[in-house]
Amino acid sequence: EKFEIPVIFRPAIRVCHAKQNVTLGKITAITRPAKFDRNPERWAATPKYRLILHRELNRKLELIRNEFEKQTDKNYATLGKKRTRLGIIACGVSFAIVRDILSDCNLTDKVNVLKITTPYPLPIKLTGRFISQCRQVLVIEETEDVIESQARQAASLQKSADAQKILGRYNNTVPREGELLPEVIYEIIRKALKKSGLTPALPKTDNKLAILVGDLKLPVRRPTLCPGCPHRASFYGIKKALPNAIYSSDIGCYTLGINLGAVDTCLDMGGGITLANGFYQAFKHNNQDMPIVGTIGDSTFYHAGIPALVNAVYTGARFVLVILDNSITAMTGMQPTPDLGSLADGTKGQRVPLLELVRGCGVPPEGIKECDPYDVNSFIQLVKEAYNYTQSPNGGMAVVIAKHPCPLYYRETHRKNRVEVMIRKELCNGCRHCIKAFECPALVYDEETRKADINRTFCTECGVCVYVCKQKAIETIKRSAD
């Protein structure tokens, strides 16, 4: 707020995938009256004022840099001004890993480490002085070379520093891709120590843990949709209805439809529709008829699918769009969608019905279908009808809303509609079609009987697998409503 500039918080993947108890101090509530200071030269700048604003931004960055130079509690060298053969510049979780490795190998007093908390704009003077203190400087940061590129600039500005002594991504000392795991950083430091002539050098990693894990012969468990997920039923139905189609999809839980062979592309939010439109226009240009099915979640559709669908209708595209409506934003924390009429804090909001929104995008009523994907046969038929509509002379864009609540969130609703199933071993031929084509975690293969089996711990009793078995070996025992 002091400099009236946005601040970007830059966490690494380890931080994003971790959790820890945090002791909070006193939280001070800041209340201010809402006001708007009219300043069109800043908030609605024409080219003339953009030049002035750019100049002002550069001035602010230098002021911020000078501020960072003074923040010695955030940016500091662990050994102060001590000269060492090897110095390491690191930030965030990479700094913590570096410190652990040096501590484990009794090298904390031999390798100076510059901790950077404010990578942009980098405190140039502090960094330049640090580089001049070390014969070799290793830069370790996630993921792009934000610090390294500025450190090279700092070295060029410092007479006693040399950018050639900096080791990092520029000279392939640090990998340009992938996560900087502890074992990766260990190898980087080991090679840097050897290059700088510092002893004792670290021994090569013996990969004992990797060997131990390998000896366990654990099965490969790729990420998959939850047991009972309605998206699994939708993807299975889409594949059965249009097995030779191009399947463009989107960002969400349902990206895991790739395991079912029902996702060919996943680019960005809204890409399930925009790519489908592009595919249609390309094949149309070649006078080819190609079945195309785009899939997008209900939350993603509200967020980024509306302009894409409007454009598809506007440009005369003809493909089937399946909106996977599980009535919640399941992937990122179970936030409500605009279709529910409630806000994230539980207060009431103005409902924006999904069906009416699709109509508002220009899709005519005859081009819109809605079905519960748990009713697999009806859903397959509906997808076929939707495709036929795209092919008819008076047809156009077709939208199928696959509507079924997420069982993970709407547990009580799901519990009331449970369908208990069993596998008749005398009918099962062990073909594994149910396991491979449906990929429900509750369907497993029994090596002893060489038959399919149900893991009751995982089974949510959705009953959809009854439709999957070609041998009719999966049968319904009872329904909750019975």
Which helix H or strand E contains 237, and what residues bound it? Answer: helix 230-241
Asked whether residue 241 falls in the same domain as residue 327, the answer is yes
Q: Let me know if residue 372 belongs to a domain.
A: yes
Rounded to two decimals, what is the model's pTM?
0.87
Residue 160's CATH number: 3.40.50.920
| Amino acid (one-letter) located at 132 | S
Within this chain, do residues 366 and 278 fall inside the same structural domain, yes or no?
yes
**What is the pLDDT, as a whole number, of residue 200?**
60
* 149, 234: one domain: no
Q: If you compute the radius of gyration of the chain from its CA atoms, what whole number of angstroms results?
A: 29
Please report which confidence band the pLDDT of residue 482 belongs to, taking 50, 70 and 90 as the band edges: very low
What is the sign of the dihedral through the CA atoms of 254, 258, 262 and 265? positive
Residues 338 and 288 in one domain: yes
pLDDT tens digit sequence for 180-237: 999 999 999 999 998 888 766 566 666 666 677 677 777 777 889 999 999 999 999 9
Mean pLDDT of 96-117: 94
Residue 217 domain flag = no
CA separation for the pair 253, 221 (Å, rounded): 16
Assign residue 424 the CATH number of its domain: 3.30.70.20
Of 346, 380, 408, at which residue does a domain stop? Answer: 408
Looking at the domain assignment, is residue 149 inside a domain?
yes
Instruction: Report the 3 state secondary structure along 243-267.
Output: CCCEEEECCCHHHHHHHHCCCCEEC
CATH number at residue 261: 3.40.50.970
Is the domain of 204 the same as that of 241? no
Q: What pLDDT shows up at residue 202?
A: 66
pLDDT the model gives residue 210: 67
- Is 13 a domain residue? no
Q: Does residue 235 share a domain with residue 189?
A: no
Q: Is residue 189 located within the same domain as residue 155?
A: yes
Domain that holds residue 114: 76-209
Rounded to 10 deg, the angle between the 230-241 and 376-391 helix axes is 50
Would you say residue 351 lies in a domain?
Answer: yes
Last residue of a domain, which of 209, 244, 266? 209
Burial class (CB in 10 A: 0-12, 13-18, 19+), 223: exposed
Q: Of 209 and 392, which is predicted with more confidence?
A: 392
Query: Does residue 20 form part of some domain?
Result: no
How many domains are there within the chain?
Answer: 3
Report the C-alpha gap between 439 and 260 in whole angstroms.
Answer: 7
- The whole-number average pLDDT for the span 63-82 is 96
Distance CA 185, CA 138 (A): 11
Answer yes or no: do 443 and 338 share one domain.
no
Mean pLDDT check: name the lowest of 83-92, 198-207, 309-318, 382-391: 198-207
67 part of a folded domain? no
pLDDT tens column, 328-381 = 999 888 999 999 999 999 899 999 999 999 999 999 999 999 999 999 999 999
